[in-house]
A and B are shown apart, each in its own frame.
Chain A
């Protein structure tokens, strides 16, 4: 099979690393060659962060370039708009409708675009918008938006739920496991 590419984008601190590790584990146990590329260090401090997950028979480059992503999962509206050029024609966009203003907007030197999700829909891109934050809070912790979004993603990929659960068990500390499973289910049953 050809290599499939999933991008996970958001704001530093939102938990994109954990999401990419869960997905990576799912793909590895499905027998794919997998590469996951992460961001550490300074850019993690509230900056725009992006994680790449690629899988297939043979994956070479760990990074995803413009026009290559089959799926983009965004933890925030503005970040979804930012990374659209990386989406393949006909690719899917899953967006948490959370809005986090970047510093230039807070200080008034830039404007946060209005109606981002509406505008993306109008371009014809296949987009699923999710109130992941509310669902995560419903599951018990606002930090679990990442796992809600993994639940949504799981409906776009054809892997058994047990594989996802096993990956959750491997990536999440035991005391948070039930809460994360709940968050995952809320994403699945959207």
Chain B
């Protein structure tokens, strides 16, 4: 049966069909749907772990126990999981273990544009790269087989366009796999120096075998159509190239991106007069060609930044540009914004009003950095808000402690904020940390986390109480506010900044997009009372604008949260009381 499937759903189908038993991941765009989709198969145990390192260790534990296992994450998640990754390369596996890492060229939803192939090279792990949904499923199934055959974890590299494009997939039945026998084997799994030294030898031997396999594997495909032009490429770039050139040039499409097949590349290059290397982000294939003495054109044409496309390839290689229509006027940009009714809005307005420094973190609330709120000073990576606040305060002392806060979401706090909070307790700054508890992992599309009381399968789970947790981590002052109550929120922030103790403020209200959140009727502006002071525009709500010189609320967007009513000094906004 053929089905139109998202690359990530097809990946999950591969996990299912390959008989995988244990899945543990942390959400991150563009990888999230792999795990959500895998969780829908009742034969697969699937969970959200608190972070990627935990997820990978769970998957490795399941593999050692003899099950086929999987963990998925976005590119920056692999940095968090790099610790287990590099040593899992040494231990190898028992049951097959597959890791998905989804790169985000173009940074559609990410803070950097790193190329995960470097992690595969550095950790000496086999990496495959599919180019459409059909290949996602097939490559994943092969990845499990190869993992067991070569005794190694296998990484399958996704990218935004492969992960979030739908194409047709042929569905097969699941092949149930018996648990492999588990035998205690410290020489393989206890990586202390004496054993690890021997395992490193095994890793190098395995890389040689994998390099030989890459030369003959059908995952690497050669299409000889022309002796003039040859293109070496992989993943989505293959699809772009194919769209431009069809069958008029020759292709070496690499399904295995680590290790690269040296002889195959040399043989292919010998067939063609000129060779182009088309790869997004880093110059990994091109560097290999250079080392093999093959003259290619690649990064000098395409650069290292952003996504490629058929248009870029056509322009850079063929000098072709499409004729286009134009509107002929400047069009205002439409950046993403906090949704109407977003509980973060009231809090960020308070921070903006108090003119404090805000060390930010990764989530929807990063949008607090945008106009008109402009309430963020730094955003680096998961958990960095709290640790960088501590550093900021150590550097600038009391002056900073009185006017600097960290903001971090509930899921991000569980991911890697906790250890940073321990540092504040242990090494003592009078820091003020605000946990934005919207009772869900918002940005990635509503995933459960340890503070929500539900697990990935939707069943009731143990719920971590943030107040108790922060107290247990040594914070004496823990207060809870409702960010819809802006006056109280502002008062509490002022008090906690003033006090000479470390404190945590939990700003608690569920995400307005959650299904169980009941919306109030849309608010209305009384145009007789409105004097167009524009105070209501200061909160950056997408539902409020000026129409016919008066404030106007879009009834299709407004959820009646009432933040704008608190802003209005003239009682001009009402309608839901």
Q: Do B540 and A35 touch (CB < 8 A)?
A: no
Partner of B311, one of A12, A13, A65, A112: A65
Judging by beta carbons under 8 Å apart, are A60 and B239 in contact? yes
* Shortest distance from the beta carbon of B379 to any chain A beta carbon, whole Å: 12
Within 8 A of A (CB), among B325-384: 325-339, 364, 366-367, 370-372
* Shortest beta-carbon distance from B421 to chain A in Å: 26
Stretch touching chain A among B75-83, B141-149, B160-168, B203-211: B160-168
Whether the Cβ atoms of A125 and B325 lie closer than 8 Å is: yes
**Which of A79-87, A148-156, A157-165, A174-182 is the contact stretch?**
A79-87
How far is the CB of B331 from the nearest CB of chain A, in Å? 5
Given known contacts A42-B109, A60-B239, A123 and B337 CB-to-CB distance under 8 angstroms: no
By beta carbon, the residue of chain B nearest A85 is B324
Select which of A61, A81, A101 is within 8 A of B243 by beta carbon: A61
Q: Nearest residue in B to A45 (C-beta to C-beta)?
A: B336
CB-contacts of A71-114 with B (<8 A): 78-79, 81-82, 84-87, 89, 100-113
**Contact A37 to B165, CB < 8 A, known contacts A107-B540, A109-B371:** yes
- Is A107 within 8 A of B333, CB to CB? no
In contact, B364 and A45 (Cβ under 8 angstroms): yes
A35-B167 CB under 8 A given contacts A46-B337, A47-B337, A110-B332: yes
Contacts of B332 in A (CB 8 A): 78, 102, 104-105, 110-112
Cβ proximity bits B28-61 to A, threshold 8 Å, 1 near / 0 not: 0110110000000000000000000000000000
CA distance A86 to B544 in the complex (A): 30
Whether a CB of chain A sits under 8 angstroms from the CB of B240 is yes
CB distance from B488 to the nearest CB of A (A): 26
User: Contact at B325–A85, with CB atoms within 8 Å?
Assistant: yes
Contacts of B443 in A (CB 8 A): 41-42, 45
Interface of B is mostly: loop
Do the beta carbons of B166 and A119 come within 8 Å of each other? no
Inter-chain CA distance A172–B320, complex, in Å, is 42
A135 at interface, CB cutoff 8 A: no
Q: What distance in Å separates the Cβ of B338 from its nearest Cβ neighbour in chain A? A: 7
Nearest CB of chain A from residue B202's CB, rounded to whole Å: 39
Give the CA-CA distance A25 to B326 in the complex, in Å.
Answer: 31
Q: How large is the interface on B (under 10, 10 to 19, 20 to 34, 35 or more residues)?
A: 35 or more
- Report B-chain residues with C-beta under 8 Å of the C-beta of A133: 556
Determine whether the beta carbon of B167 is less than 8 Å from that of A59: yes
Interface status of A39 (Cβ within 8 A of chain B): yes
Q: Enumerate chain A residues within 8 angstroms of B372, measured Cβ to Cβ.
A: 103, 107
For A78, the chain B residues whose CB sits under 8 A away are 331-332, 334
Alpha-carbon distance between A105 and B29 when the two chains are bound, in angstroms: 29
Q: How far is the CA of A107 from the CA of B61 in the complex (A)?
A: 52
Does chain A have a CB within 8 A of B445? Answer: yes
Residues of B within 8 A of A42 (CB): 29, 108-109, 336, 364, 366-367, 443
Chain A residue at smallest Cβ distance from B164: A38
Query: Chain A nearest CB: distance from B463 CB in Å?
Result: 26
What count of chain A residues pass the 8 Å CB interface test?
62
Decide yes or no: A103 and B337 within 8 Å by CB, A28-B2, A66-B322 being known contacts.
Answer: yes
Q: Bound state CA distance, A133 and B556, in angstroms?
A: 9
Cβ of B571 < 8 Å from any Cβ of A? Answer: no
- Chain A 110-137 against B: per-residue CB contact (8 Å), 1 yes, 0 no? 1111001001100101000000010000
In the assembled complex, B420 has its CB within 8 A of some CB on chain A? no
Q: Chain A residues near B557 (CB, 8 Å)?
A: 100
Task: Give Cα distance in the complex from A13 to B165, angstroms.
Answer: 19
Contacts of A47 in B (CB 8 A): 334-337
Q: How many Å lie between the Cα of A57 and that of B531 in the bound state?
A: 60
Residues of A within 8 A of B270 (CB): none
Please give the distance in Å from A59's CB to the nearest CB on chain B: 7
Q: Which of B33, B331, B366 has the most C-beta atoms of chain A within 10 angstroms of its own C-beta?
A: B331
Per-residue interface assignment for chain A, residues 6 to 35, with 1 indicating a CB less than 8 Å from any chain B CB and 0 otherwise: 000001110000000100110010000111
Residue of A nearest to B8 (CB): A40
A169 CB to closest chain B CB (Å) equals 15
Whether B310 is near chain A, meaning CB under 8 Å from some CB there, is: yes
The answer to whether A68 has its CB under 8 Å from any CB of chain B is: yes
Chain A residues contacting B323 (CB-CB under 8 Å) are 67, 89
A25 partner residues in chain B, CB cutoff 8 A: 4
A39 near B161 with CB under 8 A, answer no
- A63→B132 CA distance, assembly (Å): 12
Q: Report which of B6, B108, B534 forms a contact with A43, defined as CB distance below 8 A.
A: B108
The answer to whether residues A67 and B322 also contact, given A81-B329, A103-B371 and a CB cut-off of 8 A, is yes
Residues of chain B contacted by A82 (CB below 8 angstroms)? 327, 331, 334
Alpha-carbon gap, A104 to B371, bound state (A) = 8
Known: A84-B326, A106-B540. A43 touches B243 (CB 8 A): no
- Give min CB distance, A38 to chain B, whole Å: 5
Interface pair A107/B537, CB less than 8 Å apart: yes
Query: Given A39-B108, A47-B336: A85 and B168 within 8 A (CB)?
Result: no
Contact across chains for A102 and B333 when beta carbons are under 8 A apart: yes
Closest B residue to A114 using CB positions: B329
- Name the one of B132, B165, B334 contacting A48, with C-beta atoms under 8 angstroms: B334
* A34 to B4 alpha-carbon distance, docked (Å): 8
Residues in A with CB closer than 8 Å to B370 are 103
Return A178 CB to nearest CB of chain B, in Å. 21
The answer to whether B554 has its CB under 8 Å from any CB of chain A is yes
Instruction: Please give, as numbers and ranges, the residues of chain A lying within 8 Å of B554 by CB-CB distance.
Output: 100
- Answer yes or no: B444 CB below 8 A from chain A CBs: yes
Q: Is the CB of B371 within 8 A of A107?
A: yes
Nearest-Cβ distance from residue B200 to partner chain A, whole angstroms: 38
Q: Cβ of B4 and Cβ of A103 under 8 Å apart?
A: no
Nearest CB on B from A20, distance (A) = 8
Could you tell me the distance between the alpha carbons of A48 and B333 in the complex, rounded to whole angstroms?
A: 8
A39–B445 Cα distance when bound, in Å, is 12
- Residues B444 and A41 in contact, CB atoms below 8 Å apart: yes
Point out the residue from B309, B331, B367, B540 that lies within 8 Å of A63, measured CB to CB.
Answer: B309
Q: Decide: B545 and A105 in contact? CB cutoff 8 A.
A: yes
Instruction: Flag whether B242 is at the interface (Cβ < 8 A).
Output: yes
In the complex, B542 has a CB within 8 A of chain A: yes
Question: Complex Cα distance A21/B164, Å?
Answer: 12
Pairs of residues from A and B, 7 with the lowest C-beta to C-beta distance, nearest first: A41-B109, A67-B322, A41-B29, A47-B336, A110-B332, A65-B311, A62-B165
Using a CB–CB distance below 8 Å, which chain A residues touch chain B? 11-13, 21, 24-25, 28, 33-48, 59-63, 65-68, 78-79, 81-82, 84-87, 89, 100-113, 116, 119-120, 123, 125, 133, 142
- In the complex, besides A47-B336, A62-B165, 9 extra interface pairs with C-beta distance below 8 angstroms are A45-B338, A63-B161, A66-B324, A78-B332, A81-B331, A101-B545, A102-B334, A103-B371, A133-B556
**Please, could you name 6 A-B residue pairs with CB atoms under 8 Å apart, sorted by A?**
A41-B443, A81-B327, A84-B326, A103-B370, A103-B372, A142-B556
Residues of B within 8 A of A (CB): 2-4, 6, 29-30, 32-33, 108-109, 132, 161, 164-168, 236, 239-240, 242-243, 309-311, 322-339, 364, 366-367, 370-372, 443-445, 534, 537, 540, 542, 544-546, 554, 556-557
